[in-house]
Chains A and B, each alone.
Chain A
Amino acid sequence: MSLQSEVDIRDVSVRFGNVQVLEKLNLKIAPSEFIVLLGPSGCGKSTLLNAIAGLLDVSDGQMWIGGRNVTWEEPKDRGIAMVFQSYALYPRMSVKKNMSFGLEVAGTPRAEIEARVAEAAQMLKLTPLLERKPAALSGGQRQRVAIGRALVRKVGVYLFDEPLSNLDAQLRAELRVEIKRLHARLGATMIYVTHDQIEALTLADRIAVMQGGVIQQLAAPKDIYRRPVNRFVASFVGSPAMNFIAGRVEAGLFFHAGDYRIPLAGYAFAGAPAAGAATLGIRPEHVLAGHEAGPDAIAAKVEMVEPMGADTLIWSRLPDGASLSIRHAADAAVREGDTLPVSFPADALSVFDDTPAGARL
């Protein structure tokens, strides 16, 4: 099991009637890469995945898989397998039959089918369940069968459309690890759709954050998290969400908001820094608070304290009225109504321009 294919999506557009869902989308996925498509509901993730699978026709552009132009090929000839959110198991067939159906249809020799099903079942701990019908399985088991059905196809690209979103939190975490292990073992290319950012951050080699049918940023999880390219990516990834403070960038490298100034010396500007209206973004865990804040601290007013076990979340307000959430050590002796000195380390900041898209400066 060491097939791995490159996937190259070139200027692909998908239209439903006169609704344009994807427009000239480009995405190049390296062999053996784990790509996560992340985005809000309705942004076109499933549409893109179905287009890759060949389950819907593209209105424009080309789809290359494993060095072949498969734009007009049938799903079965593309060298892909897919796992669906609703499992989509054949209800009248046993687990074994579910897994072997595709191979039977393709005319694979019996012995080969037996061997592949046994191997996949063993990998997914399904061996004792092979004779059961899907109705007699738990949700987690069903999804494992669905993954097994994809595995026996032995293809270069596996597509997952929100495979874990019907499961409860614990099972989800379990299967997430299993999928990651599977990827390490098979080395196949995987494209995984989710709107769960934990899944995205833990599984992906690279994440493609999508909005409105457009890939906003394609980068490693760390970069998506640390250096979001625009306000949408910044606000969509991370929980609790990044804080935004409206203000101005000023020459001499300060960010000016209300009556306080935040030094920007040390911030890696994308281009030459220009003065003007902008938005400052800082993640809750990057805010320095209390005695860590240093001499130039800003006084924030604490409004609410939420102990979360491992740490404490503090909701506060800056002098100009902007709200600021701070992730602080669990033992912080902070109470509502306190005044808390805070400061922002320049290398953890994100500064966005004031265009509607809010591109990173």
Chain B
Amino acid sequence: MSGAAAMQTMSPPGDAGGPRSARPVRMTPARWGLYAFLAITAAFFLLPLWVMVVTSLKTMNEIRLGAIIAPPLAPTLEAWAKAWSSACTGLACDGIRVGFWNSVKILVPSVFISILVGSMTGYALSFWRVPGANVLFTAMMIVAFIPYQVFIYPLVRVFAFIGLGQSIATIVIVHTIFGLPTMTLLFRNYFSSLPIELFKAARIDGASFYQIFFRIMMPMATPMIVVAVILQVTGIWNDFILGLVFAGRENLPMTVQLNNIVASVQGEREYNVDMAATMLTALLPLVVYFGSGRWFVRGIAAGAVKG
């Protein structure tokens, strides 16, 4: 995509004559400089990733040699296996898979519920003109800009007061609350870009609040839903502090577990296992980004063109 855009900017305007053929790109010194700069920048950002990958594929003996950039002499997945199923966090040695499944258990309902609630709030705010909607919306936006660490302690007290202990349900509620402003903003802006007559037509057809939402608005909002899923999946998966505070000892998410693995040193520090565990934790957001980049761009642009 960005490649195509770059191609367009490279070809001079007005060479429309004849069939399209690949025009040889002349390599001027400036262009060499540009490529060199890009290559160096890319290498700079890729280097840590490279170090992580090669380290995770090495044995501890090889790591002790100290050549951290060198590729592994005999690549092995042992460290990955250990990180997944038998690395120790404190006393338990069940690997990071426990955290993985905890994160999945937190992620799925949190993403689903936060998007459902956020989109419905956005829909109600943009179409139903409830009294005080603008005040409500402004308040929500202001809250969105307050660092959420500020809320943690009060929330803990409130939850303790109403008898909501640490559990999966609690952390799902917390993620839903903190996701609400962003999700509402996202969907409200999208729905506001739709012609109001669509909503009026559905009202005349006799559709109810929920029928209009589920049967007309949500099918149109597919690109927005994809964007919301990406934002929420990466945000919730990467969360550390909320999971630590609200999920409870049994349900600590993968990020917390990773920290525990890396922090708990028994004897020698196993860099290869730490690297593998880190990569495993980062895998899901990576897959989401690579798998959905196209959709992401489309969703962001979707506000501009009515669907």
Q: Determine if chain A interacts with chain B.
A: yes
Q: Which residues of A contact B219 (CB under 8 A)?
A: 92
A220 to B186, CA, bound (A): 51
Contact A106 B206 (CB under 8 A): yes
Judging by beta carbons under 8 Å apart, are B307 and A86 in contact? no
> How many residues of chain B are within 8 Å of chain A by beta carbon?
18
Chain B neighbourhood of A272, CB < 8 A: none
Apart from A50-B200, A88-B200, A153-B205, 6 more pairs, CB < 8 Å? A55-B200, A82-B204, A84-B201, A90-B201, A90-B202, A102-B207
CB of A81 closer than 8 Å to a CB of B? yes
- Contact (Cβ within 8 A) A88 B203: no
Q: How far is the CA of A76 from the CA of B205 in the complex (A)?
A: 6
Interface residue B29 (Cβ < 8 Å from any Cβ of A): no
Across the interface, do A81 and B204 meet the contact criterion of CB distance under 8 Å?
yes
B203, A75: Cβ atoms closer than 8 Å: yes
Binding site for B on A (CB under 8 A): 50, 53, 55, 74-76, 80-82, 84-86, 88-92, 101-102, 105-106, 149, 153
Q: Count contacts between A and B, CB distance < 8 Å.
A: 58
Contact B216 A75 (CB under 8 A): no
User: Across the interface, do B200 and A105 meet the contact criterion of CB distance under 8 Å?
Assistant: no
Complex-state Cα separation, A106 to B211, whole angstroms: 11
| CB<8 Å pairs between A and B, sample of 10 | A50-B200, A53-B204, A76-B205, A86-B197, A91-B220, A91-B307, A92-B216, A101-B205, A101-B207, A102-B204
A107: nearest chain-B partner, CB-CB: B206
- Chain A residue, CB-CB nearest to B219: A92
CB of A90 within 8 A of CB of B216, answer: yes
Chain B positions within 8 Å of A50 at CB level:
200
B132 contacts chain A at the CB level, 8 A cutoff: no
Considering only CB atoms, which chain A residue lies closest to B203 in the complex? Answer: A75
Task: Give the shortest distance, in Å, between B76 (CB) and chain A (any CB).
Answer: 51
Which A residues are in CB contact (< 8 Å) with B195? 86, 88
B164 within 8 A of A: no
Task: Select B207's contact among A80, A105, A153, beta carbons within 8 Å.
Answer: A105
- Nearest CB in chain B to that of A78: its residue: B204
Which chain A residue lies CB-closest to B207? Answer: A105
> In the complex the two chains form, what is the Cα distance from A84 to B201 in whole Å?
8
Q: Which of B197, B211, B220 contacts A85 (CB 8 A)?
A: B197
Return A95 CB to nearest CB of chain B, in Å. 14
Give the distance in Å from the alpha carbon of A55 to the alpha carbon of B202 in the complex: 11
In the complex, A85→B195 CA distance in Å?
11
- By the criterion CB–CB under 8 Å, are B197 and A80 in contact? no
Distance in angstroms between the alpha carbons of A153 and B197 in the assembled complex: 18
Q: Would you give the shortest CB distance from A169 to chain B, in whole angstroms?
A: 23
B215 surroundings in chain A (CB, below 8 A): 101
The reply to whether B198 and A76 contact each other, CB–CB distance below 8 Å, is no
Q: How far apart sit A109 and B98, CA to CA, in the bound complex (Å)?
A: 52
Chain B CB count within 10 A is highest, among A80, A105, A149, for A105
- Residues facing A in B170-215 (CB within 8 A) are 195, 197-198, 200-208, 211, 215
Contacts of B220 in A (CB 8 A): 91-92
A106 to B202, CA, bound (A): 12
Main secondary structure of the interface of B (DSSP, over half): helix
* Closest residue on chain B to residue A155 by CB atoms: B204
Q: Is the CB of A105 within 8 A of B206?
A: yes
B197 touches A105 (CB 8 A): no
CA A89 to CA B198, docked complex, whole Å: 7
B interface residues (Cβ-Cβ under 8 A, vs A): 195, 197-198, 200-208, 211, 215-216, 219-220, 307
Residues in B whose Cβ lies below 8 Å from that of A81: 204
**Interchain CB contact under 8 A, A75 and B204:** yes
A258 to B99, CA, bound (A): 98
Cα separation A84 to B196 with both chains bound (whole Å)? 11
List of A residues within 8 angstroms of B307 by Cβ: 91
Which residue, B197, B202, B211, B219, has most C-beta atoms of chain A within 10 A?
B197
Q: For residue B208, which residues in chain A have a CB less than 8 angstroms away from its CB?
A: 105
The answer to whether A84 and B200 have CB atoms under 8 Å apart is yes
| From B200, B206, B207, B216, contact of A82 by CB (8 A) | B200
Provide the bound-state CA to CA distance between A88 and B202, in Å: 9
Which residues from chain B contact A85 at a C-beta distance below 8 Å? 197
User: Measured between C-beta atoms, what is the minimum distance from B210 to chain A in Å?
Assistant: 11
B207 touches A88 (CB 8 A): no
Q: Are B204 and A76 touching (Cβ within 8 A)?
A: yes
A153–B204 CA distance with the chains assembled, in angstroms? 10
Name the residue of chain A whose CB is nearest to the CB of B218.
A92
Q: Give the complex CA separation of A75 and B197 in angstroms.
A: 14
A149 touches B206 (CB 8 A): no
B200 CB to closest chain A CB (Å) equals: 5
CA of A88 to CA of B198 in the docked complex: distance in angstroms? 5
> How far is B200's CA from A81's CA once the two chains are assembled, in angstroms?
11
Q: Which residues of B contact A74 (CB under 8 A)?
A: 203, 206
User: In the complex the two chains form, is B204's CB within 8 Å of A105's CB?
Assistant: no
What is the distance, in angstroms, from B87's C-beta to the closest C-beta of chain A? 48
A152 closest partner in B (C-beta): B205
Residue ID in chain A nearest B221 by CB atoms? A92
For the complex, give the distance between the alpha carbons of A80 and B216 in Å: 21
Partner of B205, one of A55, A86, A91, A105: A105
Q: Is the CB of B201 within 8 A of A88?
A: yes
- A90–B206 contact, CB under 8 A? no
Instruction: Return chain B residues, CB-CB under 8 Å to A75.
Output: 203-204, 206
Q: Kindly name the residue among B198, B202, B204 whose own CB sees the greatest number of chain A CB atoms within 10 A.
A: B204
Give the distance in Å from the alpha carbon of A75 to the alpha carbon of B205 in the complex: 8
A76 touches B197 (CB 8 A): no
The CB with the most chain A CB atoms within 10 A, among B197, B205, B208, B307, is that of B205
Cβ contact of A102, chosen from B197, B198, B200, B205, cutoff 8 A: B205
Bound together, the chains give a CA A105 to CA B206 distance in angstroms of 7
Determine how close the nearest CB of chain A comes to the CB of B122; give it in whole angstroms.
Answer: 18
